[in-house]
Amino acid sequence: MIYKISKPDKKLKGTITLDGSKSISNRVLIIKALSGQHFPIHHLSTSDDTQTLIRLLNSEEAVLDTGPAGTTFRFLTAYLALREGTQILTGSARMKQRPIGILVDCLRRLGAQIEYREKEGYPPIEIHAPKALLRDAHIQIPAGVSSQYISALLMIAPTLPDGLRLQLEGEMVSRPYIEMTLKTMARFGVQHTWEGDTIHIPQQNYEAQSFTVEADWSAASYYYALAAFSDSTDLYLNGLQQDSWQADAAIVEIMERFGVQTTFTNEGVHLQKTAVQPETFDYDFLNCPDIAQTLAVVCAGRHCSGKLQGLQTLKIKETDRIQALINELAKIGVTAADIAEHNMHIHATEKPQADSPLFATYHDHRMAMVLATLALVVGEVRIEDPLVVGKSYPAFWEDLKKLGFGVLMC
């Protein structure tokens, strides 16, 4: 399936109510399951990943398939490691290429019984009831691979016999996501200390209480890109919070460099466009890697040379996102290069030119959404496998239509 995306003008005007944050939704669902209590969760993400997690948490099946949902797989690995019985946890072909060994090793040291069903260190895995869980647990974990491993361990920590001391080794990636996990846990009564490189969570109980999920700043980033490409913008995005727990709220400050101005309102944010044209862009995305693709495409569309740093985790996402960007930006005449030490260069000194380029999405929801924004730059783009956006933002194409975009199957 291919969608053709176009817009008769470059004016951006309207109101979009954004979906709940997938990252926060998934954390709250795991905490609810660990608490063993019922409480209402409002504005849950409608994403495929979150709906998959809901289904699997309520499943009695022996084989649980997460599909391409990485966060769901990692959080369930830790959650199931404490349960009675035996479950096989599997996923899509791409999921079977995404490493899980670091998390499994940590869980085994805590007393979990987990076996690999195929390739060592990778899904699928078979999880049995734990043997005697480690008391006064103190384990080390590399902090430079995936914050999701750390978050998975932190959320089960208060349910362990004496809690957990988790020592983070080496350079940390995506620290705000770890902080998001701890803030969410604190919202449900679980306290911690973080001194130096060690997080200590004593044994304690989660306290049930109503929770409302804030809107998704990752999804908001695509509208910031559209604003950067527009001639004028008068756009309201509802549900976003100024004091957000989400790392991707950094998009507010970043996009000021491209003339996108944010005003916070009672309902969310109001975006407007000013005449600013940067010649170069340099930013370290170590703490917010999910918006790196957005800024790579913004640099390309605004013919601004960019250096994107801190991209350690992009190669192990739904696809190798660095290589995917290199491949697709070439279709609009923009040269991108993967350089040493997790950096990427965008060479875009002239306005992109293309005649309805056909963009591949690599089974990656973020590639589909960010490449669609280039319709404002080149007039029309075509997107392969467009329904992949369901992984995080099922209503994306419908929301574009609300802003006057043509979204047609071709």
pLDDT digit string (tens) for 176-196?
Answer: 999 999 999 999 999 999 999
- Give ∠ CA 268-270-273 in degrees, rounded to 5: 155
The pLDDT value given to residue 276: 87
Tell me how far the alpha carbon of residue 274 is from its chain's centroid.
29
**Is the Cβ–Cβ distance between 313 and 174 less than 8 Å?**
yes
The pLDDT value given to residue 257: 96
Q: What is the pTM of this model?
A: 0.91
The pLDDT value given to residue 341: 66
Q: Is 385 a catalytic residue?
A: no
Q: Of 123, 18, 24, 16, which Cα lies nearest the Cα of 68? A: 123
The pLDDT value given to residue 351: 77
The pLDDT value given to residue 279: 85
Q: Of 124, 126, 71, which Cα lies nearest the Cα of 93? A: 124
Match 């008391």 to its residue by tokens. 135
The burial of 105, by beta-carbon neighbours within 10 Å (0-12 exposed, 13-18 middle, 19 or more buried), is given as middle
List the domains of the chain with CATH numbers. 2-19+214-409 (3.65.10.10), 22-212 (3.65.10.10)
Per the rule left: phi > 0, alpha: psi between -120 and 50, beta: everything else, 107 is alpha
Indicate which residue of 216, 290, 364, 385 is catalytic: 290
The pLDDT value given to residue 85: 94
Strands 2-6 and 380-384: antiparallel
Alpha-carbon distance of 337 to 405, in angstroms, equals: 31
pLDDT less than 70: residues of the chain: 313, 315-319, 340-341, 349
Q: Which residues pair with 337 in a beta bridge?
A: 345
Residues 6+ apart with CB under 8 A from 179: 245
